[in-house]
Amino acid sequence: MSVARMLFEVGQVCTAPLHESVAHIGVSTPANGHLVAAFSRTQLPPEKTNKSNVGKTDKMLGESRMTSLPKVSPDSIHVGWIGTGVMGKSMCRHILDAGYKISVYNRTKSKAEELLAKGATWAQSPREVVDKSDVTFTIVGYPKDVYDVYFGEYGILAGAKKNSIVVDMTTSQPSLAREIYHKAKEKGVYAVDAPVSGGDVGAREAKLSIMIGGDEDVVEHLRPLFQLMGGNIAYMGPTGAGQHTKMCNQILIATTMIGVVESLLYGYKAGLDLDEVISAIGSGAAGCWSINNLGPRIVRRNFDPGFFVEHFVKDMEIALEEARRMRLALPGLALAHQLYIALIAQGKGKLGTHALALALEQLNNLEMKK
């Protein structure tokens, strides 16, 4: 008998009126992959309904599942890390500095040399990383890279151990996060999506905002590791919720960046000192991370990437596709996307997101030089 049918049949024999009873339903997925459900209905006077018991079964099952996982500490687990780019390298370094044993893989080995010099171990493939690891983090470029890393012949799911955990921190598609979750679950592996925000500075200073989707008990189990990388650890809901939250983040950044650049263009044309403009408006109602952190870089003509334009365009395209699926009109995001596409057409896809200033300068036939 299916679980749904079982719950229906049990429910039919509970003849007490709904207002005179309390129902407890707990559903969980333990390490063996089978769905477990508990249902009880106890007749109680309405004023004595014990709401504190609701969800207790879920909690008990979650705690039972977590006993199959090793304690998260440097002495207990081996960590895997795949992707040592602008942000991944700094994030991995924080875990390494905390004393964890780490195996790393990156398509270009030279980008991992700093971590190897600090004691990390090189792996020849994602599969080799997970073969040694209890918890494996990935942060790569595009959804297609995520797919290859997880589903390729030498990928993560070809070699991940039962009861291990995989955490994708790439900004990717919510649907891909769900696919990874379900395929991992078939192998007795736990999967979490945890994209981040904060750029190269946030990664370097361990001040990232980490937006997480997945099973809450697994996320809590990983909290000690997340806390090494970020200052704001936000559990957002089931699988894919982390990626949806990151889309909210990227939509806000994209449209805010237009305002930052247009504000500086206006100030420049009006003959104002742009450093003074940033100081004045950055502490008022218009203050935001972008004007205070990226505004000065624009003024100094430093367009080095904290986050690549081409990766940002990828994020906007994911958000636009999800918006189309939800029949949601986002004209501000669509405009920002077009401006960034123009920036890539100008050969500036490897610059930072604040290089949007270059596209708008070209539109106005000026350059904000001191």
Catalogue the active-site residues.
Answer: 246
Among candidate residues 228, 285, 216, 206, the one with its CA nearest the CA of residue 77: 228
Number of H helices, E strands in the chain: 16, 11
Burial 238-269 (b: 16+ CB within 10 A, else e): ebbbbbbbbbebbbebbebbbebbebbbebbe
Distance CA 136, CA 73 (A): 14
Q: How many CB atoms lie within 10 A of CB 98?
A: 14
Q: What is the residue-wise DSSP string for 185-222?
A: HHTT-EEEE--EESHHHHHHTT-EEEEEES-HHHHHHH
**CA R_g for the chain:** 24
Q: How many CB atoms lie within 10 A of CB 35?
A: 11
Q: What angle do CA 262, 268, 273 make, to 5 degrees?
A: 120
Cβ–Cβ < 8 Å for 166, 136: yes
Cβ–Cβ < 8 Å for 65, 73: no
